[in-house]
């Protein structure tokens, strides 16, 4: 034998390096080799069931350790092949089997990831959390699949894709939705949020209470009170009950200032509004203790605490100094569970009484919800540079006779370029007076149902004697009233083109027509009308709400989708929603290259009662047009968005995106019956 390695045919066979391979149960005899020769490491077998790229990395390291040359590497690799991988070896010509690079190329072609990227992408899309699988295990497996599905993607791209795939695979729709609302920046953050949510839900289930994630403290110190037990959790979970105005109120004083407190057993902390704190602090220098504590209310909006301090509080016969937190809430003050428990408060909602210590106090029951919308009752035109009193109404109908203040919304000011004065009104009346000012140089039309402002609870201070302020309403004529022959800017081009081939008399009639009907022509793409003749209804019978998860959009379309949503919010086309219905978003490319924002309403359409609208016969249509010489077509500007959806049916149009849940106020694209409504 070459190399001085003796063979013993009786004990077994030897490989080409002189290593003896035992046969049967005979004791193996050690090979004779120089004592200074390093110990050899054998390559593990490869059968094609594991990724080739993972195996070849290990094989190259073993080859380097054993100091193999190219021919030896080829023979060792060939000897390690099993199963399907061994079939690749058999398909090669005899000469190529001993060439390492050729053998590797054949194995890459058969088992390499480059040819399986679509398979791994499909696995990612269909990946869901398995029973018994932990959240970190799910995240690790998604990262593994992503490295195979997108081998050439950048680190940032892989991180984004991994985060989105992890959220989609998280299983429980509630958890997925809450992770979306938290807007994690990386996969690691998403894993942390999911782990915390799961731990919290498990803890709540053990306590036998309903899950309620009203306020989430993200970081910072935990408020402590004598009756509370410290927690080891680094994450503080608190609850904030209804932040609307509905509920029981008790009258009291805070630093000597009269305040109405909402009694809320669902709020862990006692909180006051920032504006109230500023009023209390004015001239007193009431500083706040800085806290690094953020919270998010139930709809996902971030709501950071401004700070906290001890305030002198008087409620009923109780005068105490209590820790109160300051935040941008919707009402002046909330008496939280910390106060109610500490001072042994008892609530009798049936009788409308609260017992604080030993003193029983009457409460005020407020029925008007904070933020209840006030809309224009009838279509009006506000002249330029003028102030006008407009009839309004509460959108959901009149309420009880407790005074409310109406404040205009920022969206109304930005979209309509009008201002509305704050007014104190009686919400039980059918008509609510609205005082509007148009500071611009053009008339502005407000259509029936346009949201002007919101209701906020108010209290009339007894004994107050406000001075009456007399003001003069100055009106100014519009351009068309000053000069009936003057055509507005947005109609000049249309008038010029229309009068090119007409006589002076005919041109004058066209200009008069345009002047008298200027308000029906859109000034821009955003200037859309609203018809008050019909509303679209969506009849679903007894069908239960259908809620679908958000559909992942390509990265390059996310910014476009967000831009479209903000544009629709600004144009009063959609509004935030808390609907039980939800449909995913689809972006459709139009012929002109622009994008149409659509919603996949197929599930909703399946349970919607279809209207019957038979098309007319062609011969009947031709008979109707017989003898006509002039034909005209008028195209509505975004016709769908000029027809309102009935308010009770708007929640059914809700769609879910990465940024939240919204619903249409006007006809969206994708519903099954609007075409018949528009044609009818």
What is the structure's pLDDT at 480?
Answer: 41
Q: What are phi and psi of 491, to 5 degrees?
A: -110, -5
- Whether the CB-CB separation of 130 and 142 falls below 8 Å is answered with no
What is the structure's pLDDT at 297?
Answer: 56
**How far is it, in rounded angstroms, from Cα 623 to Cα 618?**
9
Q: What is the CATH number of the domain that holds 272?
A: 2.40.70.10
**How far is it, in rounded angstroms, from Cα 36 to Cα 33?**
8
Q: Are residues 284 and 343 in the same domain?
A: yes
**How far is it, in rounded angstroms, from Cα 409 to Cα 416?**
11
What is the structure's pLDDT at 651?
Answer: 93
Q: Are residues 362 and 378 in the same domain?
A: no
What is the structure's pLDDT at 461?
Answer: 54
The two tokens of residue 493 are 């081009």
Question: Strand pairing of 451-457 and 404-408?
Answer: antiparallel
What is the structure's pLDDT at 604?
Answer: 92
538-545: average pLDDT: 90
Which one of 298, 331, 366 terminates a domain? 366
Q: Are residues 277 and 385 in the same domain?
A: no
Q: Mind spelling out the 3-state secondary structure of 445-509?
A: EECCCCEEEEEEECCCCCCCCCCCCCCCCCCCCCHHHHCCCCCCHHHHHHHHHHCCCCCHHHHHH
Has residue 680 got a pLDDT over 70?
no
Q: Are residues 329 and 438 in the same domain?
A: no
What is the structure's pLDDT at 37?
Answer: 53
Query: Which letter does DSSP use for residue 608 in this model?
Result: S
Query: Which letter does DSSP use for residue 652 in this model?
Result: G
Has residue 274 got a pLDDT over 90?
no
Could you write out the DSSP letters of every residue in 96-162? GGG-HHHHHHHHHHHH-GGG-HHHHHHHHHT--PPTT--HHHHHHHHHHHHHHH-TTS-HHHHHHHH
Q: Supply the mean pLDDT for the chain.
A: 75
With respect to residue 342, please indicate whether it lies within any of the assigned structural domains. Answer: yes
pLDDT in tens, 353-372: 778 766 666 655 544 445 57
Its sign, for the CA torsion 22, 23, 25, 27, is negative
Q: How confident is the model at residue 652 (pLDDT cuts 50, 70, 90)?
A: very high
Percentage of residues in the chain having pLDDT higher than 90? 4
With respect to residue 529, please indicate whether it lies within any of the assigned structural domains. Answer: no
- Whether the CB-CB separation of 584 and 599 falls below 8 Å is answered with yes
pLDDT in tens, 100-132: 888 888 887 777 665 566 667 777 777 877 777
Across 88-92, 536-540, 639-643, the highest mean pLDDT is recorded for 536-540
Q: Are residues 360 and 383 in the same domain?
A: no
Q: Are residues 561 and 675 in the same domain?
A: yes
pLDDT in tens, 255-267: 888 888 888 877 7
> Taking the CB of residue 368, how many other CB atoms lie within 10 A of it?
23
Has residue 214 got a pLDDT over 80?
no
315-336: average pLDDT: 83
With respect to residue 349, please indicate whether it lies within any of the assigned structural domains. Answer: yes
Q: What are phi and psi of 262, to 5 degrees?
A: -80, 125
pLDDT in tens, 196-208: 888 877 776 655 4
- Whether the CB-CB separation of 250 and 354 falls below 8 Å is answered with yes
**How far is it, in rounded angstroms, from Cα 674 to Cα 311?**
57
312-324: average pLDDT: 86
Has residue 148 got a pLDDT over 90?
no
Has residue 79 got a pLDDT over 70?
yes
**Which of 535, 537, 515, 516 shows the shortest CA–CA distance to 642?**
535
Its sign, for the CA torsion 518, 519, 523, 524, is negative
pLDDT in tens, 478-499: 444 444 456 777 788 888 888 8
Percentage of residues in the chain having pLDDT higher than 70? 73
With respect to residue 163, please indicate whether it lies within any of the assigned structural domains. Answer: yes
Has residue 247 got a pLDDT over 80?
no
How far, in whole angstroms, is CA 486 from its chain's centroid? 47
What is the structure's pLDDT at 653?
Answer: 93
> Taking the CB of residue 598, how many other CB atoms lie within 10 A of it?
14
231 against 592, higher pLDDT: 592
**How far is it, in rounded angstroms, from Cα 268 to Cα 323?**
12
What is the structure's pLDDT at 10?
Answer: 46
Q: How confident is the model at residue 238 (pLDDT cuts 50, 70, 90)?
A: very low
The two tokens of residue 410 are 């920022």
What is the structure's pLDDT at 470?
Answer: 46
What is the structure's pLDDT at 49?
Answer: 75
Contacts 24+ apart (CB under 8 A), 199-208: 200/237, 201/175
Q: What is the CATH number of the domain that holds 380?
A: 2.70.40.10
Q: What are phi and psi of 364, to 5 degrees?
A: -105, 125
Q: What are phi and psi of 91, to 5 degrees?
A: -80, -15
Tally of domains within the chain? 6
Could you write out the DSSP letters of every residue in 539-600? --TTPPP-B-PPPPPPHHHHHHHHHHHHHHHHTTSEEE---S-BEEEEEEE-TTS-EEEEE-
669 against 118, higher pLDDT: 669
Q: How confident is the model at residue 301 (pLDDT cuts 50, 70, 90)?
A: low
What is the structure's pLDDT at 38?
Answer: 56
- Exposed/middle/buried for residue 246 (C-beta within 10 Å: 0-12, 13-18, 19+): middle
Place of tokens 């149409």: 596
- What is the 3-state composition of the chain as percent helix, strand, coil, each rounded to the nearest 5? 35, 20, 45
Q: Are residues 450 and 489 in the same domain?
A: no
Domain holding 483, by residue range, is 479-520
605-617: average pLDDT: 81
Its sign, for the CA torsion 441, 447, 453, 458, is positive
The two tokens of residue 228 are 């509370």
Has residue 59 got a pLDDT over 80?
yes
Q: Are residues 325 and 377 in the same domain?
A: no
Neighbour order of strands in the sheet with 574-576: 574-576, 660-664, 655-657, 583-589, 595-599
Has residue 194 got a pLDDT over 50?
yes
pLDDT in tens, 388-433: 888 898 877 666 556 778 888 777 877 787 888 888 887 777 788 8
Place of tokens 């500007």: 637
Q: Are residues 343 and 380 in the same domain?
A: no
> Taking the CB of residue 565, how many other CB atoms lie within 10 A of it?
20
**How far is it, in rounded angstroms, from Cα 237 to Cα 231?**
10
CB-side exposure of 320: number of CA atoms within 13 Å? 13
Q: Are residues 381 and 346 in the same domain?
A: no
**Which of 298, 445, 311, 440 shows the shortest CA–CA distance to 376?**
445
With respect to residue 73, please indicate whether it lies within any of the assigned structural domains. Answer: no
- Whether the CB-CB separation of 219 and 292 falls below 8 Å is answered with yes
Has residue 70 got a pLDDT over 80?
yes
Neighbour order of strands in the sheet with 359-362: 346-348, 353-356, 359-362
**How far is it, in rounded angstroms, from Cα 372 to Cα 546?**
26
Which one of 497, 520, 543 terminates a domain? 520
Q: Are residues 127 and 244 in the same domain?
A: no
Q: What is the CATH number of the domain that holds 660?
A: 3.10.10.10
What is the structure's pLDDT at 473?
Answer: 41
With respect to residue 527, please indicate whether it lies within any of the assigned structural domains. Answer: no
The two tokens of residue 269 are 């902390």
Has residue 511 got a pLDDT over 60?
yes
DSSP H or E stretch at residue 166: helix 155-168
CB-side exposure of 399: number of CA atoms within 13 Å? 24
The two tokens of residue 399 are 């309420």
- Whether the CB-CB separation of 455 and 404 falls below 8 Å is answered with yes
**How far is it, in rounded angstroms, from Cα 236 to Cα 218?**
7
**How far is it, in rounded angstroms, from Cα 263 to Cα 59?**
71
52 against 525, higher pLDDT: 52
What is the structure's pLDDT at 642?
Answer: 78
Orientation angle between helical segments 187-207 and 155-168, nearest 10 degrees: 20
Q: Are residues 490 and 414 in the same domain?
A: no
With respect to residue 217, please indicate whether it lies within any of the assigned structural domains. Answer: no
Which one of 520, 547, 572 terminates a domain? 520
């Amino acid at each position: 034998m070459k190399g001085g390695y003796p063979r013993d045919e009786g004990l077994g066979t030897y490989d080409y390096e002189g290593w003896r391979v035992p046969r049967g149960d005979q004791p193996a005899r050690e090979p004779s080799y120089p004592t200074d020769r390093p110990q050899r490491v054998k390559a593990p077998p490869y059968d094609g069931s594991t990724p080739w790229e993972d195996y070849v990395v290990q094989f190259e390291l073993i080859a380097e350790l054993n100091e193999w040359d190219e021919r030896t590497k080829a023979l060792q690799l060939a000897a390690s092949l099993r199963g399907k991988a061994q079939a690749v070896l058999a398909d090669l010509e005899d000469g190529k089997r001993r060439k390492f690079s050729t053998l590797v190329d054949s194995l890459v072609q058969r088992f390499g990831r480059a040819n399986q990227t679509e398979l791994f992408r499909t696995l990612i899309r269909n990946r869901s959390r398995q029973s018994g699988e932990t959240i970190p295990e799910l995240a690790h497996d998604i990262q593994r699949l992503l490295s195979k599905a997108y081998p050439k993607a950048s680190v940032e791209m892989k991180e984004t894709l991994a985060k989105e795939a992890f959220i989609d695979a998280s299983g429980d729709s509630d958890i997925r939705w809450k992770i979306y609302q938290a807007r994690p920046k990386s996969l690691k953050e998403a894993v942390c949020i999911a782990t915390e949510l799961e731990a919290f839900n498990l803890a709540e289930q053990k306590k036998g209470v309903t899950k309620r994630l009203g306020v989430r403290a993200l970081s910072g110190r935990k408020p402590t009170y004598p009756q509370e037990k410290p927690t080891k959790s680094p994450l503080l979970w608190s609850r904030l009950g209804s932040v609307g105005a509905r509920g029981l109120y008790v009258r009291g004083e805070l630093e000597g200032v009269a305040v109405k407190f909402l009694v809320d057993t669902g709020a862990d902390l006692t909180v006051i509004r920032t504006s109230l704190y500023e009023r209390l602090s004015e001239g007193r220098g009431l500083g706040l203790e800085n806290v690094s504590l953020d919270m998010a209310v139930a709809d996902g909006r971030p709501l950071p605490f401004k700070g906290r301090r001890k305030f002198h509080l008087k409620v009923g016969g109780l005068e105490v100094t209590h820790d109160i937190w300051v935040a941008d809430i919707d009402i002046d003050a909330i008496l939280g569970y910390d106060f109610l428990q500490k001072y042994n408060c008892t609530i009798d909602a049936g009788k409308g009484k609260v017992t604080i210590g030993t003193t029983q106090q009457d409460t005020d029951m407020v029925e008007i919800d904070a933020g209840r919308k006030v809309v224009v009752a009838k279509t009006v035109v506000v002249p330029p540079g003028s102030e006008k009193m407009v009839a309004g109404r509460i959108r959901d109908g009149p309420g009880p006779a407790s005074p409310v203040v109406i404040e205009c919304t920022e969206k109304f000011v930005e979209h309509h370029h009008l201002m509305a004065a704050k007014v104190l009104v009686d919400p039980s009346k059918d008509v609510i007076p609205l005082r509007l000012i148009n500071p611009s140089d053009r008339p502005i039309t407000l259509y029936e149902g346009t949201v002007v402002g919101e209701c906020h609870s108010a209290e009339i201070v007894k004994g107050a004697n406000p001075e009456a302020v007399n003001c003069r309403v100055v009106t100014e004529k519009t351009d068309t009233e000053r000069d009936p022959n003057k055509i507005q800017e947005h109609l000049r081009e249309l008038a010029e083109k229309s009068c090119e081939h007409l006589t002076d008399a005919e041109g004058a009639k066209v200009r008069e027509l345009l002047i008298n009907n200027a308000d029906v022509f859109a000034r821009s793409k955003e200037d859309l009308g609203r018809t008050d003749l019909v509303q679209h209804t969506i009849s679903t019978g007894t069908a239960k709400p259908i809620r679908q998860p958000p559909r992942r959009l390509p990265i390059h379309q996310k910014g476009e989708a967000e831009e479209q949503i903000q544009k629709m919010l600004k144009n009063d086309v959609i509004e935030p929603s808390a609907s039980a219905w939800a449909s995913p978003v689809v972006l459709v490319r139009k012929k002109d290259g622009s994008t149409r924002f659509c919603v996949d309403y197929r599930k909703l359409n399946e349970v919607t009662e279809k209207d019957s609208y038979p098309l007319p016969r062609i011969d009947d249509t031709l008979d109707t047009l017989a003898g006509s010489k002039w034909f005209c077509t008028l195209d509505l500007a975004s016709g769908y968005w000029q027809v309102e959806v009935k308010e009770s049916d708007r929640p059914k149009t809700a769609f879910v995106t990465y940024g939240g849940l919204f619903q249409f106020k006007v006809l969206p694209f994708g519903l099954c019956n609007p075409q018949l409504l528009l044609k009818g």
